[in-house]
Amino acid sequence: MPNSDLLILGIDLGGTKILTSIINPQGKMLSRDHSVTPASKGPEAVIQAILESAERALKGASITIGGVSAIGVGAPGLSDPKAGILFTSPNLPGWEDVPLRDILQEKLKKKAFLINDGSAAALGEYYFGAAKGVSHFVYVTISTGIGGGIVIDGQIYSGSTGMAGEIGHMTIADEGPLCQCGNQGCWEALASGTALARAAQKRIESGEETTILNFADGKIENVTAETIHSAAEKGDRVANELILKTAYYVGVGLANLINIFNPEMIVIGGGLSNIGDRLLKPAYEVAERRAFKRAYQAVRFVQAALGRNSGVLGAAAFAYHEMKKKG
């Protein structure tokens, strides 16, 4: 964002958290409110929680809603930025064709803009983070699920109906495990933190000798990517095999992205990426074997720079630039 005194109310809506902030054009967060998403209670309860979070963020920045120029909201699932409608979201039960943009405009009396959360995070990294000045890149977040955003010629690519960027749902194995989206063998179903934990639980239930449970209070339901990583660092064979298998699938997905988009950069974020070289180094090796040589040589892999703030910063940047387009 160029210099200006305009302030944006940024909202990052997730299946488990709502992050709201007042953000200036230079990407400085003047306030930050983090709250739990009451996802199981349906759209009305979630929207009320957004409004309450917005109120706290405004108070934290010592301004009223009149002090902001617009609202930018990043939301998970399939949406249409032009229509402002969130069609559906696997992380938000009961959401179907919800006109979220218009609801927020009506409630807060400010112009609002809706964007997919993965695309918002990509824009955050483009304007303020690891991808500053990079015209062609793909943002990948590997966490509970796998999401992403695509930037081409410095613009977010959202497709004909706003649904582009659902990279976690490209098919990696046609007879692979069932994904939350209803398809089989999605990248998310094979290479996410959830997939890694599920694979570990199966190995434990089959009676394999592993110390993973020692890091999960002895409870199989507490097994997570983090507990598996802890066991791997202590030399646990099963944990290391599980991470290596996940790395393989991460690498296959990255090779697909390289061959399709020929990006200058792939920015990788999300909790699972915190495993670091134990996961990413073998993943890059798989990508190198599977991608076109010249395309692979042209790409740089970098860690996301903004952490959990990428989505809210990107949502604000999206709103700011959409306001500028409309004069």
What is the per-residue burial (b if ≥16 Cβ within 10 Å, else e) of 79-106?
bbbeebbbbebbbbeebeebebbebbbe
Quote the tokens at residue 183: 């398809």
Residue whose entry in the numeric block shows the structure tokens 């488990």:
16
Q: Within 10 Å of residue 236's Cβ, how many Cβ atoms? A: 20
Contact in structure between 11 and 327 (CB atoms under 8 Å): no
Asked whether residue 271 falls in the same domain as residue 312, the answer is no
Residue 250 has pLDDT above 60, yes or no: yes
Q: What is the pLDDT of residues 201-224, one digit of tens each?
A: 999 999 999 999 999 999 999 999
As a 3-state breakdown, the chain gives helix, strand, coil percent values, each rounded to 5, of 45, 20, 35
**Cα-based distances in Å from 245 to 168, 198, 286:** 17, 13, 11
Per-residue pLDDT, averaged over 299-311, amounts to 96
Question: Domain check: are 14 and 95 in the same one?
Answer: yes
In angstroms, the CA 24 to CA 30 distance is 7
Residues 144 and 237 placed together within one structural domain of the fold:
yes
Do residues 65 and 142 both lie within one domain? no
Statement: residue 4 has pLDDT above 60: no
Q: Domain total for the chain?
A: 2
Q: What is the mean pLDDT of residues 20-34?
A: 96
Does residue 138 sit in the same domain as residue 265? yes
- Say if 319 falls within a structural domain: yes
CATH of the domain at 42: 3.30.420.40
149 and 281 assigned to the same domain: yes
Q: Which domain holds residue 71?
A: 8-126+308-325
pLDDT in tens, 46-76: 999 999 999 999 999 999 999 999 999 999 9
Co-location of 233 and 143 in the same domain: yes
Tell me 248's DSSP state.
Answer: H
For residues 103-124, average pLDDT: 96
Report residue 84 as tokens.
């402002």
How buried is 60 (Cβ within 10 angstroms: 0-12 exposed, 13-18 middle, 19+ buried)? middle
Domain presence at residue 2: no
254 and 233 inside one domain: yes
Residue count of the chain: 327
Please give the pLDDT value at position 3. Answer: 38
Do the domain assignments include residue 3? no
Q: Are residues 262 and 297 in the same domain?
A: yes
Q: List strand residue ranges (DSSP E) for the chain, in order.
A: 8-13, 17-23, 33-36, 70-75, 78-80, 85-88, 96-98, 112-116, 137-142, 146-152, 155-156, 265-269, 300-303
Report the alpha-carbon distance of residue 21 to residue 118 in Å, rounded.
18
Higher-confidence position of 188 and 180: 188
pLDDT tens string 148-170: 999 999 999 989 888 899 999 99
**Quick check: helix, strand or coil at residue 103?**
helix
191 contacts 142 by C-beta, under 8 angstroms: yes
- Average pLDDT along the chain: 94
Kindly state whether residues 148 and 115 are assigned to the same domain.
Answer: no
